[in-house]
């Protein structure tokens, strides 16, 4: 069955540095991958979508890469700020012609001033 892995340990970095989060998957080939942000007590919020034929996508300080050979996506936040502190979830499509997604368990990012 499909499996998604995100680093369950929190990532602690200093303000201004680049945060890099990893999402690995096994046992299938998704057509696209998404990243969501979740703040405590709130629902996930969509950030970026990258398709299998795209290597990289950027949005302001965010950058996502998608390596279908390694079955891995990297999520970068450059010039990180304390306001970027949150849990970040990766999600993959289920390759069944629906809008269903499989979510990873998320990685908590803490940016210190």
Partner 1 sequence: DAGVIQSPRHEVTEMGQEVTLRCKPISGHNSLFWYRQTMMRGLELLIYFNNNVPIDDSGMPEDRFSAKMPNASFSTLKIQPSEPRDSAVYFCASSFLETQYFGPGTRLLVL
Stretch that binds partner 1, among 15-23, 40-48, 67-75, 77-85 (CB under 8 A): 40-48
- Out of 80, 104, 107, 108, which residue is the one contacting partner 1 (CB under 8 A)? 104
- Residue with smaller CB distance to partner 1, 23 or 80: 23
106 binds partner 1 (CB under 8 A): yes
Cα(4)–Cα(38) distance, integer angstroms? 17
Minimum distance from CB of 11 to partner 1 (Å)? Answer: 17
Is 53 one of the binding residues for partner 1 (CB under 8 A)? no
Q: Which residue has the tokens 């990289």?
A: 56
Contacting range for partner 1; rule: CB under 8 A; set: 11-19, 65-73, 78-86, 98-106: 98-106
Minimum CB separation of residue 17 from partner 1 in Å reads 27
CA 84 to centroid of chain Cα atoms: 13
Question: What is the rounded CA–CA span in Å between residue 54 and residue 67?
Answer: 9
- Residue 39's nearest CA partner among 104, 108, 95, 112 is 108
Calpha distance 67→71 (Å, rounded): 6
C-alpha distances in Å from residue 30, one per residue of 19, 96, 99, 102: 25, 10, 12, 10
Instruction: Please report, as ranges, the residues that interact with partner 1 according to CB under 8 A.
Output: 32, 34, 41-46, 49, 89, 91, 93, 98-106
């Amino acid at each position: 069955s499909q499996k998604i892995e995100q680093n369950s340990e929190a990532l602690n970095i200093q303000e201004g540095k680049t945060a890099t989060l990893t999402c690995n998957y096994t046992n299938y080939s998704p057509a696209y991958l998404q990243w969501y942000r979740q703040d405590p007590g709130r629902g996930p919020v969509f950030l970026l979508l990258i398709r299998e034929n795209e290597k990289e996508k950027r949005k302001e300080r965010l950058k996502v890469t998608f390596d279908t050979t390694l079955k891995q996506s990297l999520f970068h936040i450059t010039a990180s700020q304390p306001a970027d502190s949150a849990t970040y979830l990766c999600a993959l499509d289920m390759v069944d012609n629906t809008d269903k997604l499989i979510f990873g368990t998320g990685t908590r990012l803490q940016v210190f001033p």
